[in-house]
Structure 1
Amino acid sequence: MATTSGTTTTPTIVLVHGAFADAASWAPVTRELLDRGHTVFVPPIYNRSLSQDAASVRAFVEHIDGPVVLAGHSYGGAVIGVAGEADQVTALVFVSGYVLDVGESLGQLQGGFPDSDLAANLVYTPYPVAGGDPGTDVSVEIDAFPAVFAAGVDPRAAEVLAVSQRPLSGAAFGEPASAAAWKTKPGWGIVSAADHTINPDVERFGYQRAGLREVIELDAPHLVMQTHPREVADVIEKAVRETAA
């Protein structure tokens, strides 16, 4: 799946979406990267647990022939931090993302900072688990979704996103990360300075702790891939260029 030119292998790009969204959240960046000639995949993330989601992404990556750059948005940042342990992953790009250390959970990382607007606008819904107790799905209140999660997105598009969001299992908030691929893989980060879903200081802290190779700040909302696709694609392309073998 990777492209080769002479002795240079260009990494395949795998985009990982986060909670309350699906692969379509990456659509403008996907289009931008495809137009630039990159090989791109955007697999579904099931948002059941950090370990399961990371295992799913890792399995997907391990079926790709050649090096891979992983880019994760929001909760997807936590996912790539674990899945990025796969041997062929050459770089990590965190986009408005969580960067967890080994043994740290989303709740622990967030707990060290003031709540964003998201905390007061969450909805909890039980879902069935075969042979076990019901789980709890967490989603964003539909009426609050445009302002809290999709600020800056066309209002009509935000309405569609609000009613098609993919919830995150409540269990994922308390599950500790089993790996921190950023300790061995180069990373890049994008801070969304106008983020109402994740406190931007959570993003800044995680990126600084991880010692990412480069961090940029954009005056952008949480769905920066929708509002600033070219800038996001530029950062991903830089990671691709600097890690091509």
Structure 2
Amino acid sequence: MHPFARSLVTFAAATAAAIALHAGEAAARTPAKPTIAFVHGAFADASGFGEVTSRLQDRGYTVVSPANPLRGPASDAAYVASALQPVKGPIVLVAHSYGGAVATPAAKLVGNVKALVYLNALALDAGESNFGIIERFPNRFGEALRTRPFPLPDGTEGTDFFVDPARFREFFAADVPARAVARMASAQRAVSLSAVQEPAGEPTWKTIPSWYLIGRQDEVISPAAQRFMAKRAGSRTVEINSSHASYISQPDRVTELILRAAR
């Protein structure tokens, strides 16, 4: 090979190596996007996060939405945590309603949760329960609740709560189109009495940064209760004019808050 050609090949190889090294260093300096994990609440399921999920996936985020058993915060948290164990890298854990009582302890079990996002959700302190918050900040939601028994493994009976389908839109999703609400009401998942009575453990919002979205027209968890919990947790808070189903009626605002946490 001609000496000049040999020099060009050597120069080209060195340049390619330098570019590859620079790209590797740049990649190392650029943190990977966190995984966004959703925890749904009572009387709902993970499909409600569909519009928010699409917006996040369009921005390159990985999203996981495990089913919440709705049997009790401790056991539900263990189940959700097991579903999140395969996730590598940071997680932003987003919870709606009763899902907040599950996400808070699940964050401790997972270990790589870097931010908590509460959407009209329970951010309980140690010893508190869902019922405890409702008693402290009462509203009319109890009017819409109905009960039914279900069998427990030991042969005894438990009690489930569900929302009267005829009143589902009034209390849960007043700002969601009627046809969509009818589907939600028919597919709602009940929560057990023991789950809403179970006291919470030491909260992870004391050590993990949190964000909170308050729905001013919420008829399930009163706005006053949400403001109280958000302030106590030191959450970065936004308020919007939404029902309890803020993640369905206002997916852009919810996505925006999640992106803030993700950054």
Residues 64-100 of structure 1: per-residue CA shift (max 9 Å, x gap)? 1111110000011111111111310000000001110
From 176, 194, 203, give the equivalent of 1:180: 203
* 1:87 is aligned to 2:134: no
- For 1:236, the equivalent position in structure 2 comes to 258
Query: Matched residues in 2 for 1:37 and 1:152: separation?
Result: 29
* 1:106 is aligned to 2:110: no
From 188, 194, 199, give the equivalent of 1:165: 188
Distance 1:179 1:5, change over 3 A: farther
Unaligned runs of 5+ in 1: none
From 43, 46, 51, give the equivalent of 2:69: 46
CA contact (8 A) 1:118 1:140 kept: no
- For 1:6, the equivalent position in structure 2 comes to 28
Give the 4+ runs in structure 1 shifted more than 6 A.
Answer: none
* Aligned-partner SS, 1:84: helix
Larger RCO (CA within 8 A; separation ≥ 6): 1
Larger Rg: 2
Aligned positions, number? 236
- For 1:20, the equivalent position in structure 2 comes to 43
Q: Which residue identity lines up with residue 128 of structure 2 in the other structure?
A: E
How far did 1:48 drift? 0.9
* Aligned-partner SS, 1:172: helix
Query: Matched residues in 1 for 2:73 and 2:103: separation?
Result: 10
**Aligned sequence identity (%):** 39
Root mean square deviation, CA, Å: 1.2
Correspondence 1:51-90 to 2 at 5 A: 51-85=74-108, 86-90=110-114
Q: Which residue identity lines up with residue 63 of structure 1 in the other structure?
A: P
- For 1:225, the equivalent position in structure 2 comes to 247
Query: Matched residues in 1 for 2:214 and 2:193: separation?
Result: 25
Query: Matched residues in 2 for 1:36 and 1:177: separation?
Result: 35
Residues 165-222 of structure 1: per-residue CA shift (max 9 Å, x gap)? 000011111101123010110000000001111111111100001111x100000111
Task: Give the TM-score normalised by structure 2.
Answer: 0.87
Query: Matched residues in 2 for 1:176 and 1:113: separation?
Result: 17
How far did 1:142 drift? 0.8
- For 2:11, the equivalent position in structure 1 comes to none
Task: Give the TM-score normalised by structure 1.
Answer: 0.93
How far did 1:5 drift? 4.2
Query: Matched residues in 1 for 2:137 and 2:48: separation?
Result: 26
Residues 98-132 of structure 1: per-residue CA shift (max 9 Å, x gap)? 110112111112211122x3211101000111223
Query: Matched residues in 1 for 2:33 and 2:47: separation?
Result: 24
How far did 1:62 drift? 2.0
Unaligned runs of 5+ in 2: 1-25
How far did 1:9 drift? 2.4
Q: Which residue identity lines up with residue 12 of structure 1 in the other structure?
A: T
Query: Matched residues in 2 for 1:71 and 1:137: separation?
Result: 25
* Aligned-partner SS, 2:60: coil
Residues 145-180 of structure 1: per-residue CA shift (max 9 Å, x gap)? 011112111101100111110000111111011230
Residues 5-53 of structure 1: per-residue CA shift (max 9 Å, x gap)? 4331221000110000000111111111111111101111110111111
